[in-house]
Structure 1
Amino acid sequence: MTDNKAKSLRSAQQLRDGLIEALDVCGIADGDLVELTVRYRRAENGVEVQEMSLVPLKKQRTSYA
Structure 2
Amino acid sequence: MQFSIIVAITLGAFAVASPVAPRDLSSCIADVTTTLNSCVSRCGTDSNCTRECDTNGTNAIQRCISDNPSG
TM over 0.5: no
Rg: which structure is higher?
1
Q: Which has the higher helix share?
A: 2
The structure whose RCO (Cα within 8 Å, separation 6+) is larger is: 2
The TM-score normalised by the length of structure 2 is 0.34
